[in-house]
Amino acid sequence: MADPGLSETRIRIARADDLPELLALLEQLRERSAPGVVWERAEDAHAARVLAAILTDDRRVFLVAEAGGAVVGTADLVLVPNLTHAARPIAYVENVVVDRDHRRRGVGAALMAACEDRALEARAYKLQLLSNADRTEAHRFYEKLGYTESARGYRRYL
């Protein structure tokens, strides 16, 4: 495949027909998952139903980065209603991943900028994300974009 640069990268809303590429891309998150976490891949039919639900949810913006006709990155923006800060929503970013062969080319920055634009359009008062503690490369990336470590997070995998 050709080596598309950022100028050839397009950020768009995910579509149902992106599912095979999305599942393959999201598999790359498995490589970086926390030790001991059981990673299960959904059956394709179930994954298709879940993606359809995501794509019709007004509080979700499931973005993809497309380069050379292929999906090379994704980010899922979730807008949560909120009563504080003049009842402005909170925006969360989940499942940010750029294909390993397309990293360090501005794809992730373009995805995050698109998330920020959408959060601003929704009048969100903050945009936040969580990142596994051992992902120092990702942390440097987010800090370069102006994000700061400002909270302590806890989770329990079920």
Give how far Cα 6 sits from Cα of 31, 67, 76, 110, 145, Å.
25, 8, 20, 8, 16
> Which phi and psi angles does 98 have, rounded to 5°?
-120, 135
Q: Are 110 and 145 contacting, i.e. CB atoms less than 8 angstroms apart? A: no
pLDDT value, residue 2: 42
Q: Two tokens at 96?
A: 């940010």
Pick the residue with more confidence: 51 or 130? Answer: 51
Q: Quick one: pLDDT band at residue 1, thresholds 50, 70, 90? A: very low
Q: Which tokens sit at 70?
A: 């292929």
Domains and their CATH numbers in the chain: 12-144 (3.40.630.30)
Between CA 117 and CA 95, with CA 87 as vertex, the angle to 5 degrees is 45
**Does pTM top 0.85 for this prediction?**
no
